[in-house]
Amino acid sequence: MDSSRKSPLLNNISRFALDSRTGKALLSVKGTSPRMGERISSKAGYSPVIMDYRHYRQGDAVKDIDWKLSARTERLFVKIREGYRQTDFVIVPDGSESMRISYNGSTSKFTTALTISYIAGRSALKSRDRVYILYGGERLHAQTEHSLLELLLDIETSNPENSLHDAAMVSSANVFVLSDFFMETDALAGYLKKISHSIRDLFLISIHDPYEESFNFKGRFKFLDPESEASVLAESRNISERYHHSYNEHTHTVSRTGKAFGAKVSRATTSEDPFHAFVRAVS
């Protein structure tokens, strides 16, 4: 990785020292989400935890022999360890235009989404799970921590259609969706309906910009929809109150809609530590 490469995502990783912290992420949430991290399988595998013992059979690994038990019984016994069951994690960062807006040089919602995606993916990889990034109509396999970061850096500079339309690629997985959910709630409900019956756990991380939340209207404003490019000119009188009412109502509706489909809904802001936002999302 070229450390000189300028990127808001790399800046966030460095700023919050995420390379040294994300390895501990699953330790923070282990036991709170039974499908997160290393899970016990009914099949024997290699784990520090011993399930049982059995007599030695030709071909068994010497390292699995329990020498103390064998000495006591005068017969060779091998340890049967817990197996690990891999789970697919699909991470869906929303790349729509509303996510890419940055106010006065602040961190964009898209950068925050990619940063939390990095934390979630790196944590799952450390737990031997399979990680995929769903973006631009493609399901991209992040096989290593290095490839995960490379994928996210490529996504950072791309500009496909809103990736929340790619509902068919998340079957039998734990799914993280990171978005501001600036979409019609009927469209969100339709998206969740498509994926909710075929996945394991669903995490919706609603990303907010404090500037948008506390926006103060004074004078005349031209409002522009960055996706449709439609605009409207308005005076500030009563606009502020109506704006904040609509913003808060939409946020609550998104939360209710997500929970109606069994999703765990949490919020993150562009100004907070993304590590804390991730831990809150899965705890």
Nearest to 91 by CA among 112, 118, 59: 118
Nearest to 268 by CA among 277, 276, 259: 277
Q: How far is CA 148 from the centre of its chain?
A: 12
Residue pair 175/202 in contact by the 8 Å Cβ criterion? yes
Separation between Cα atoms, residue 253 and residue 206, nearest integer Å: 12
- For the chain, the distance separating the N- and C-terminal CA atoms, rounded to the nearest angstrom, is 32
**Which string of DSSP letters, residue by residue, matches 125-160?**
HHTT-EEEEEETTEEEEE-SHHHHHHHHHHHHT---
| pLDDT given for residue 163 in this prediction | 59
| pLDDT given for residue 21 in this prediction | 75
Strands 220-224, 231-235: pairing is antiparallel
Question: What is the full per-residue pLDDT of the chain (283 aa) written as tens digits?
Answer: 444 457 999 999 999 988 887 655 543 444 334 344 444 444 444 445 677 888 888 778 787 888 888 888 888 988 887 655 678 899 999 998 899 988 888 999 999 999 999 999 998 888 788 999 999 888 899 999 999 999 999 999 987 665 566 655 667 788 999 999 988 889 899 889 888 888 888 999 999 999 988 877 666 767 777 667 777 776 666 677 888 889 999 999 999 999 999 999 999 999 999 999 998 998 8
Nearest to 128 by CA among 91, 170, 83: 83
Separation between Cα atoms, residue 265 and residue 256, nearest integer Å: 9
Separation between Cα atoms, residue 86 and residue 104, nearest integer Å: 43
- Give CA separation, 157 vs 69, 113, 154, in Å: 59, 14, 6
Residue pair 253/185 in contact by the 8 Å Cβ criterion? yes
Q: What are the chain's domains?
A: 8-36+86-282 (3.40.50), 41-84 (no CATH)
| pLDDT given for residue 48 in this prediction | 53
Separation between Cα atoms, residue 196 and residue 193, nearest integer Å: 5
Largest distance between two CA atoms of the chain:
90
Residue pair 14/21 in contact by the 8 Å Cβ criterion? no
| pLDDT given for residue 35 in this prediction | 43
> Residue 206: what residue type?
S
Residue 198: Cβ within 10 Å count: 13
Is 16 in a helix, a strand, or coil?
Answer: coil
Could you tell me the two tokens for 211? 């500037």
How much is the pTM? 0.76
The residue behind tokens 């290699």 is 46
- Give CA separation, 14 vs 104, 115, 241, in Å: 21, 11, 38
